[in-house]
Amino acid sequence: MPRGVYIRTKFAFRGKTTEQRFTEKIGKTSARGCHLWIGAIGSHGYGMFGWRSLYKHMVPAHRVAYELVHGAVPEGMCVCHTCDNRLCVNPSHLFLGTHLDNSNDKISKGRDRHALGEAASKAKLSEKDVIFIRNSVDGPTALGRRFGVSPNQIWMIKTKRSCRHV
């Protein structure tokens, strides 16, 4: 199926238009203004909208939201989130970009899974903490409790198997 032809509003499924079916699957609005998807969710964490009657498959809900408001997505373009919420289908939070634009956006916001140290979004230790751990004479269990990480992680830091960039 060619891209950009997800929206076929003139067809009805079980007596409802695409807009009606889509709107039923939008839940509450978050504090950040995200319209949260309450329908099916794919293994990647994005909302999915079913087109079984027309195309017999599921498509990303945020893409459908964008197309309902702005029209077809051009070939080679992605629908990206400004809010970084995979379940958000608020059209004002969506923008078009290439795969490179989407990757650069992810990296600039610190969501790159290959980011090192404090740049990683789930980092628990700062570079100062790592230096302190390496210079400390305390045991891994005590240091682990102090910094909220496992003793094994402390051992990995002390032996420079982890946090090598510091």
Domain co-membership, 34 together with 102: yes
Q: What is the domain-level CATH number for residue 37? A: 3.90.75
Q: How would residue 54 be classed by pLDDT, with cut points 50, 70 and 90?
A: low
Q: Are strands 35-37 and 94-97 parallel, antiparallel or unpaired?
A: unpaired
Task: Return the beta strands (E) in the chain as ranges.
Answer: 26-29, 35-37, 48-50, 58-60, 78-81, 94-97
Tell me which residue range forms the domain holding 140: 117-158
Q: Identify the pLDDT of residue 132.
A: 93
pLDDT single digits (tens) 62-108:
998 998 899 888 998 999 999 988 999 999 999 999 999 988 888 78
Query: 46: pLDDT confidence band, cut at 50, 70 and 90?
Result: very high
Residues 94 and 132 placed together within one structural domain of the fold: no
